Amino acid sequence: MISIALSALLIPYALIAASFMVMAMVNIYHLVHYGATTRMSFVITFVFYAVSVLIIFFTLQALEGTDWSQTFNLNLFRQDF
């Protein structure tokens, strides 16, 4: 029986979140560096970051009561016919 702790799922999530943050900072750098400082670029960037913050907020709210020391049994998906 193979079981994995739920906390092991936080590692890929953290890597994805970190790469997302790096790409978001590159986005801001390119907007400033190449002079794309129109009103529309600010509005779209604000909407992008506002949606990102909302996703993070709702994710934290949904995972607030999770017991990360629980194990996840991989045999759950195995079906013997």
Name the pTM for this structure.
0.66
Residue type, 43: V
Residue 49 falls inside a structural domain: yes
In the predicted structure, residue 80 carries a pLDDT above the cut 90: no
Residue 35, both tokens: 């002079």
Q: How far apart are CA 35 and CA 22, in angstroms?
A: 20
Give pLDDT tens digits for 26-79.
988 888 788 777 888 888 888 988 999 999 899 889 988 888 888 887 776 666
Residue 27 falls inside a structural domain: no
Residue 2 falls inside a structural domain: no
Q: How far apart are CA 11 and CA 17, in angstroms?
A: 10
Residue 7, both tokens: 């906390």
| Maximum alpha-carbon separation in the chain | 62
Residue 54 structural domain = 36-64
Question: Is 49:24 a contact under the CB 8 Å cutoff?
Answer: yes
